[in-house]
A and B are shown apart, each in its own frame.
Chain A
Amino acid sequence: AQSVTQLGSHVSVSEGALVLLRCNYSSSVPPYLFWYVQYPNQGLQLLLKYTTGATLVKGINGFEAEFKKSETSFHLTKPSAHMSDAAEYFCAVSGQGAQKLVFGQGTRLTINP
């Protein structure tokens, strides 16, 4: 069985500040981990993913995430927030042989000018 917990349903940061969105997972098989972003009135789009190999993965729009097996975490970061980053972010987990993704409940990111 797999599950995802996103800590904080709402995160607010100032423009130019560090963005940190937290994700912890549970998986009975080696996990594949994903971050999706949903802008207002749109569907979700893949931001980045970890399957195997390098544990620090880079995605679009300057975001990156690090897979930490010992902490069962896959936190999303961006060094400097931009107003256009305001959106909802979803962490998801699957694994080899899994037939579906399991999504977290989402974190709404607000950027203050």
Chain B
Amino acid sequence: EADIYQTPRYLVIGTGKKITLECSQTMGHDKMYWYQQDPGMELHLIHYSYGVNSTEKGDLSSESTVSRIRTEHFPLTLESARPSHTSQYLCASSEWGYRGYEQYFGPGTRLTVT
């Protein structure tokens, strides 16, 4: 079982609230990712990080922001939640180098914005 953790697992929150989704991994992986997954749709990469103090936006535009101050921690923040942010958010990590395709996923956070 992958050692990557996400909290909370489920979150229901009102419009306009600020939220932070937590993601931690204990595998020492340099690369970390945030994906968005909607029912019946593909996983889409919204943020990734090569390492500490390195973050980039993914292919899917997102109003969220991320930070990477420690190798093991990659939180995602929404400053003002909206119903359009309702989705499942998956965090993942991988080693550096050619095995970047082998990504270890957390269990996900299911976010509902009312």
B is a partner of A: no
B positions within 8 Å CB-CB of A: none
